[in-house]
Every structure is written in C-alpha cells, then in structure tokens.
Structure 1
Amino acid sequence: MSEQVAHPHGADRLCPPAERAYADALRAGRIAREDAREATCLIDLGLLHPDPAALDWLLPTSPQAVMARLLRGVHEDIAASQARTGVVAAAFERFAALGAPAAADSEAIRVLDGIPRINAAIDDAIAGCTTESLTIQPRGIRPEHILSQALPRALDMLDRGVRIRTLYTHVARHGPGLHDYLHQLDGRAVEVRTLDEVTDRLLLFDRTVAIIPAAADDTSALELRHPALVEYLATVFERLWRLAVPLSDAVPAATDFEGITHRERVIAALLAEGHQDAVIAQRLGISVRTCRHHISRLAAALGSSSRTQLGVRIAQSGLDAHPR
C-alpha cells in the first residue's frame, strides 16, 4: 500500500488537474490510471478507487457518497464545537462566581470620563437625593454663569426638603454672584461657610454617593458608592464645617502681629510647609499675582530681603502655625 500524501485541499475544493480527472471519470464511468497520474490526490481523498476487475483503471466514487461523507464530517465538527462551547461556558460560569465580590466592588467606584458623563451622574445623584447635600467648592469666586446653572438644581432639591450645605474659600465672599444666588434661594435650608482653604471639589448626596475629581482639568471624575469611602468623606466635610466661618459672620481681618492680616498668616504657614506660590494661590482660591502681593507685604512686615530669610523669620515669629 502506498503512503498517504498530505494535500493542501480537501474533497470539497479540488485542484484543477484533480477536478478535470474526476469529471472525466464520472462521464466515462472510469479513468485509466495513467490518465490520472497528475491527480493522485483523488485516490488519497477517496474520490477514485481501483477497479477490482482491471487494476489499470480507476472507478469514481459517486458525488452523492462524497457529499454524504463531507456532511458527516461537518456534523461531527459542529458537535465537537458545541461540546467545547459547553466546556468553556461552564468554566467561565465558575470564574464569574469567584469574581462576584470584585464585580460588586467595581460598581462602588465608577470612573466618569468626560464632562457629559460627569454632569449626567450629578443629575442622577441630585434626582435621587432626599435628605442632605454636602458640597465643597474650591478655587475662589464662583463664576456667575456656573451659579445660574446650579440654581435650578438647588431649587429642585429644596422643594423636596433637602438640606444644602456648601463650603467655599473666604475669597468666594467677594463674588457678587454668590450673594445673588443665595438671595434667589430666598433664605431656605441653605447654609454656606468659608475657610482659608478647602479640599478639592466634593459633592456628597444623602451620605450614600459622592463625586470627586479624578483629573486636574475636571474632565474625569469618580463616583463613589462604597459606604466606608462615603462616610470618610462625610467626616472630612463635617470637620471642615466646624472650623469654617458662616457667611453671615465676618472673617478675621488682622492679627496683633505687626499688622499682618489673617490671610498673610495663612500664606506664611503654607510657605513654611514649602509650598510654591502657584500651589498656595490655588489652595486659597486667589491669583498668583495676589498671592505674591501678600508675600511681599509679609516680607516687608518681617524685615526680610530674600525668600530664604523670609522662611527663617516666619519660623522665628511663630507664623509657621496655621491660624485658627
């Protein structure tokens, strides 16, 4: 018996010499072995077989038999694929069960990419808020158009009996838009307090969902629903709230230390911590130019002629501690 030869095609896709020889064999009922020498693949594929009565001739296998054999192979392949599919599905069902806690945790921290998704998440949280809204707004004076956009949301929450508390920096007091905004809320359950500096933006609703920034340019945020994280942020807010000054009260204007203002004392403490002018300005919600003006006044009051000497004088005078 001759050795089987591997061919690049199957019975369903014959090479040209094999296709011609098989067609000749079907028309004539047989084909001389010599005439099929360029199509030995037909024998290997079972489309031609020797004539028992005359070994120099080859007989063709009927197309119906060939088709039945090919279809049987297809059915076997489908059955094998279905069996493999079942095995894979069963395996990943086990993996899914093992990963259920992780999936739950991923729902507790959701990344919001892009302003539209962030605004949609805020709208959903506001719509579901029923008792309390806590907000921290850094960066100084809030633009009037931003406050105008926030007004309908605040009115909607107030109509539902939600208590609103917001923390700003002291600088926000100088923006007329904030006072107009509060006036339009008509003295309802809205409380505003200010601090020298606050944390990054925080939106907290019913102590169940919080939204915080995830990028410096505000194009990405995190929606937090993990109870421990949300409670931690609520605690941070409450501690800042106790230290803050109600908007109806005056901010400490000056200290008894050679006319250095309260803000300059805060800047002195931040300089002592090693912060650069731009960082200090951002934390206090003021411009870098205004920050440097206060630093110049501070240097003049302490009699220092360089930044290094200013740092020494701040430490010597006790101004390196944040004022209360």
Structure 2
Amino acid sequence: MAVRVRVPATSANLGPGFDACGLALGLYDELTVAVTGTDLSIDVTGEDDGLRDETHLVVRALRAGFAALGLAPAGLRLTCVNRIPHGRGLGSSAAAIVAGLIAAAALGEARLSTRDVFALACAIEGHPDNVAAALYGGFTVAWYDGTGAARVARTAPPADLRPVAFVPGRRQLTSESRVALPVDVPHVDAAANAGRAALLAMAMSGTLLSEPGDSEPGDSEPGNSPNRNGLPRGGRLDTASWQEALVAATDDRLHQPYRLPAMPETRDLIGRLRAAGLAAVLSGSGPTVLALAVGEDQAALARECGGSGFTVLDLAVDRDGARVEVVAG
C-alpha cells in the first residue's frame, strides 16, 4: 500500500498576525510513501536539502505519526516532488511535517484525526501558524488554549484575493531571523498590532463592513438596515475600500521593523508595493514578499513593482489544505 499527499505552501504572520495568522497558497509539494522491507529510500525532485536518512524532516514526521499509532515500520520508500522554495518564508518545513504526518495517518488506516495531526505538527514545528494553514487551507488563526492545546479557526478569503509572491534567490533560516526580535516591545506597538490583526481577520473573512455613514439608511444590501439608534450598520466595502483596508490591516510593528534591516532588497520592495497602494508583507520570516492584491488590476500593478533578483509567482488561495489518496504500492 502507498499513499500520495499534496500540501500547499503557506505565508505566516501576514503583517500583524505574528505566530498566529496563516494563508494557504496554490503551490504544492507532493509526497508518495510506501511501507517496504527494511531499507529507507528517499527520492527528491526539485528543492532538496540533500538529506537521505532518518534526519530528513518528512521521515521525522512520519516516524512521529507512526509512533503515535504504536507503529514502527522498518522500511519506507519516499518520493518527494518539492515545489515550495526552501528557506524563503513560504512554509516548506510546515509542508514537510504535515505531509509526513498525513501520510502516516493514512498508512495507519486513518486512526489519527485531523486534530491529532495538527497537535503533532505544532509540536514538531514549534509554532502553529504555518502548519494550521497547510493542514486546513484558506486563512487561519491559530493559538494555544489554557491547557497548551493548539487550536485553529479557519475562513475562506473572498474569491478576488490574488496573492503575488516575490521570491528572492537567497535563503533565510527562521531561527536566524528570530534573533533580530527584541524581548520586549512598547505597549503602544502591541496595542496597534492587536487592532490591525483584528482588522486583518475581518478583511480576510469577507465580513468587513463599511464605517457608519458610508451607506444610506434603508439601503437594501445585507447588513445595511439601521440599528436601533437609527444609524446604518454598514455594508460590504467596495473594491477600492477593501484594498485600502487591507493596506491598513497589514501594517506591523512587532517583527517586520526588526527583521527587514537585514533584508534591504525585501524591505525596499515592500516599500514600493505599499506606496503603490498594495497590502505587502514579509512572508513568514522572509525573505519572500507577499502582496495581497485585490483583483487582476492590482495583481498586474504588483508585478510591475517587482525588481530584479525576485521570481514573481501569481498564486491562488488554496482552499482545501492537505489532501491524501491511496495509490498503487
């Protein structure tokens, strides 16, 4: 028996949602796994870190999944087709971890639930933002509850969201990028980020409403009926207003100001994109830049802003998350 897993790339943080928010993107790693005799065989196409033993991240995730099921198969045959760039802030490690755990669950006759997989993935990755989006798809907010259990909320962004990724040639390890972060931040910055992250969640869920006074009392659009004080409740923002709201929602004071000085090309590109009215952020810990364009016109504008040294990827929002199927062994 063999299984094939497809896992999307992800962008974490999205500006103010540090270690919490994630977005699944239409760029996929694929993994085929079969239980064999006694040997470990790993074949890799595409992005490759060169590991061919038990230290390979997918193998580590597989072993963790099997251990949770009380299994310990001696031999495994892995075929990896890696399309997600490594070390660029697009969730390659989260994809590898989720792929391995999903494959183990399937080979173990699905005796691991999705929630079990999520908990194990968070334990291996160390933070929940990328793995939540990779596993569930769409836009996710992940956190740890009072017992330390990983939790997630998910929504599907509006259809006209057009992510554009600008991927540089050089890599940046998350562990290296975190060194730049201060132990403490000013209260005013934390408060600002809380408001921006809340606005981001509303904008990405498609429930963003206009400010009171932007619509007329009696407007027939859903949500526009006057409240008991006679003021309009507001309606769905038009495209231009949604674009403006996304720019505001992706402003960050907690991590980007500290990380970007070490990435001058990335910093300058984010500046150009935001000056052009685009919601642009550092993807994860970087150095990739993600522009959250609204509609094709903004996506085209984003592409025009990109400079040399970046590969530009037009990516859909992945709305399905990780998927697995049984294939011939």
Shorter chain as denominator, the TM-score bin is: under 0.3
Structure with more helix by fraction:
1
TM-score normalised by the chain length of structure 1: 0.20
Please tell me whether Structure 1 or Structure 2 has the larger radius of gyration of its CA atoms.
1
TM-score normalised by the chain length of structure 2: 0.20
Structure with more strand by fraction:
2
The structure showing larger relative contact order (alpha-carbon pairs under 8 Å, at least 6 residues apart) is 2
